[in-house]
Homo-oligomer: A and B are copies of this chain.
Amino acid sequence: MLKVDAKPTGNNKARACTITTAHGEIQTPIFMPVGTRATVKCMWQEQLEEIGSQIILGNTYHLYLRPGHELIEKVGGGLHGFMNWDKPILTDSGGYQVFSLSDMNKVTEEGVIFQSHLDGSRHLIGPEKSMEIQKGLGSDIVMVFDECPALPATKDTLRESMELTLRWAQRCKDYGLRDYQKLFGIVQGGLHHDLRTECMERLEEIDFPGLALGGLSVGEKNDEMVDFLNNFVHTMPEQKPRYLMGVGKPLDILKGIKAGLDMFDCVLPTRNARNGQFLTHDGPLNIKNLKFREDTGPADPSCECKVCTTYSRAYIRHLYTTGEYLAGQLISYHNLHFMIKMTQDAREAIINGTFDDYYETFYKRYESKKWTSK
């Protein structure tokens, strides 16, 4: 499902690929907007297309609870039809949410027993249930159901968790998905290179068409994560997509690209938008700041999106401080555009053999101004 368009050159491991799915091609590196409950918050589907979204995410845990995968399959034949999105969709396994959002989760060999964060109702999601839900959702890329151990954890705990994750991965593989669905394995093992390598090799024995890195950006130091990525990612199979789950900030994604990763997702651009934060080439900009009260300039002067070419900081600050819906809509649009454009520009630079320059220039400028602290 993967074609390498440009291999690493210079002082980096960055690569550009084309991934083929049943609903179209994805050109990497790619940022994938998160549509938790069959909607990327505040965004019309046509606006997602407008900013160049090639693939979006759906959340198994949330969609299972509401409105339920049976309803989505019955009404829309799956998530594509239900939400009217005909480009690729990736669904997570629900694992992360079961551990982080629900109450009273209990891990057994069968799966995770938890209480819904909505009404306290009791549920079990294990490998088979996660596959059943994702089959109903009809996503193009399906994630295996994995355990997400709380960090910090001892190596023994991490190994135990990894063993469980591997047994579950096999059960996911054995479940029959729709013909066109591609199941990705998830490499766990904390920051232990040996555990990660073992996990990856054993996932390779099961043989998945793509591999993800889970359990990162969950409490460890940023440097530790980046070091790990730099040492590990290039050892992953070249002919398979490499997906860094749930990370993260613009510079983290740029570092991930540099380390050789292809796919990224995070709620940061939309969540921070609703808190008034613009992602700009000069770093994060908090629109609430009083100094923007009379500022007639665009949020990000280097951005060509229709928010930055149309509206002033003063206007958007007014919308945000008065609690107007349009603030979240405009900032979400810009932030997603920003992330997607960053990955598109990175791809172009990789293909042109200028990624090191792109990285340095972007990084320095992004770090040079500290809007929010002024």
A315, B71: Cβ atoms under 8 Å? Answer: no
Q: How many residues of A contact B (CB 8 A)?
A: 37
A39, B312: Cβ atoms under 8 Å? Answer: no
A314, CB-defined interface residue at 8 Å: yes
Near B by CB (< 8 A), chain A positions 231-259 give none
Near B by CB (< 8 A), chain A positions 185-235 give none
Please pick, from B76, B84, B294, the residue contacting A75 in the complex, using a CB distance under 8 A.
B294
Chain B residues positioned under 8 Å from A67 (CB to CB) = 293, 314, 318, 321-322
A75, B321: Cβ atoms under 8 Å? Answer: no
A324, B39: Cβ atoms under 8 Å? Answer: yes
A39, B74: Cβ atoms under 8 Å? Answer: no
Given A315-B83, A321-B66, A329:B75 Cβ within 8 A: no
Stretch in A41-49, A102-110, A141-149, A345-353 with 4+ CB within 8 Å of B: A41-49
Please pick, from B71, B319, B325, the residue contacting A328 in the complex, using a CB distance under 8 A.
B325
A42, B325: Cβ atoms under 8 Å? Answer: yes
Give CA–CA (A35, B43) in the complex, Å: 20
Chain B residues positioned under 8 Å from A1 (CB to CB) = none
Contacts A38-B315, A41-B325, A67-B318 aside, 5 further interface pairs with beta carbons under 8 A come to A38-B318, A39-B319, A39-B326, A325-B328, A329-B329
The 16 sampled A-B contact pairs (Cβ below 8 Å) are A37-B319, A37-B322, A38-B319, A39-B325, A41-B324, A44-B326, A44-B330, A45-B310, A67-B321, A71-B314, A71-B318, A76-B312, A82-B312, A82-B315, A82-B318, A325-B328
